[in-house]
């Protein structure tokens, strides 16, 4: 059953990770009636798709699984021949970057939102403790919001569709703290790029996730589940 007090509707991009799960529960806390979009784009870490479905069900939200075949696989998240790198945080964009992934996902989300009359799209992007992906920065979302306004009927008619990034300026420590307050089932989330039975602990996503829990003096439940 959906939250009976919900008076607003939103689309939430749900990957199954820590950030997107926290964003979903934040949208619910703000009384949005949420539909989650889960993307199957050929990623190696398909374990996250299972997590995303479980989290959506836990939050009592409808979800849609969207399958995509990416036109290029120049990413270690997609190409089985390219090894997932260990965390290095050198300032260079890592091989786990998927070309224009958020641009593709958000374009689909905007199309879906406009078709069902929804004006808010939430994404758990973060530009503080992150891998340096260009499509996770505030500049990208500001630019895309402008594009959506001029490139959709909703925008032209003054109704508008807005991409919301509530975690964009938060550290992983702050995100974990917020998630705990919101009751996010972190034990259901999955962040590891390798998608094995247990997190590898050495990829960038694992290292950043552990940072958030350690700085809150907690053990990541994914390590004991």
Q: Which of 14, 16, 13, 21 is nearest to 192 (CA)?
A: 16
Average pLDDT over residues 43-66: 95
pLDDT of residue 2: 40
Would you state the structure tokens that stand for residue 48, as one six-digit string? Answer: 């996250």
**How would you classify the pairing of strands 62-67 and 120-122?**
unpaired
Count of CB atoms within 10 A of residue 145's CB? 19
Predicted structure pTM score: 0.93
Write down the residue that tokens 């806390």 correspond to.
29
Task: Return the pLDDT at 103.
Answer: 96
Of 17-26, 201-210, 216-225, the range with the lowest mean pLDDT is 216-225
Q: Would you say residue 12 has pLDDT above 90?
A: yes
Tokens of 138: 């505030």
Mean predicted lDDT score pLDDT of the chain: 92
With the CA atoms of 48, 56, 112 and 168 taken in that order, what torsion angle do they form, in degrees rounded to the nearest 10? -70
Domains of the chain (ranges; CATH) run: 8-223 (3.40.50.620)
CA gap 28, 32 in Å, rounded: 5
Judge whether residue 6 has pLDDT over 60.
no
Tokens 């036109």 — which residue?
71
Confidence of residue 7 (pLDDT cuts 50, 70, 90): low
- For the chain, where are the alpha helices, taking DSSP H only? 18-29, 47-58, 101-115, 138-151, 153-156, 172-182, 204-214
Least confident of 26-35, 41-50, 138-147: 41-50
CA neighbor of 204 nearest in space, from 123, 133, 99: 133
């Amino acid at each position: 059953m959906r939250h009976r007090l919900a008076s607003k509707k939103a689309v939430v991009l749900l990957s199954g990770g820590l950030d997107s799960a926290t964003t979903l529960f934040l949208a619910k806390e703000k009384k949005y009636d949420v539909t989650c979009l889960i993307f199957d784009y050929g990623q190696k870490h398909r374990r996250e798709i299972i997590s995303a479905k479980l989290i959506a069900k836990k939050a009592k939200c409808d979800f849609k699984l969207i399958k995509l075949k990416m036109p290029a696989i120049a990413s270690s998240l997609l190409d089985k021949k390219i090894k997932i790198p260990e965390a290095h945080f050198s300032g260079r964009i890592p091989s786990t970057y998927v070309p224009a992934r958020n641009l593709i996902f958000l374009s689909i989300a905007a199309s879906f939102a406009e078709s069902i009359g929804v004006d808010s799209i939430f994404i758990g992007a973060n530009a503080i403790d992150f891998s340096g992906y260009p499509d996770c920065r505030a500049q990208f979302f500001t630019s895309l919001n402008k594009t959506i306004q001029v490139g959709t009927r909703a925008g032209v008619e003054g109704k508008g569709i807005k991409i919301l990034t509530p975690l964009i300026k938060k550290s992983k420590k702050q995100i974990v703290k917020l998630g705990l307050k919101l009751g996010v089932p972190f034990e259901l989330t999955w962040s590891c790029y390798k998608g094995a039975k247990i997190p590898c602990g050495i990829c960038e996503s694992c290292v950043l996730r552990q940072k958030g829990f350690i700085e809150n003096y907690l053990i990541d439940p994914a390590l004991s589940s």
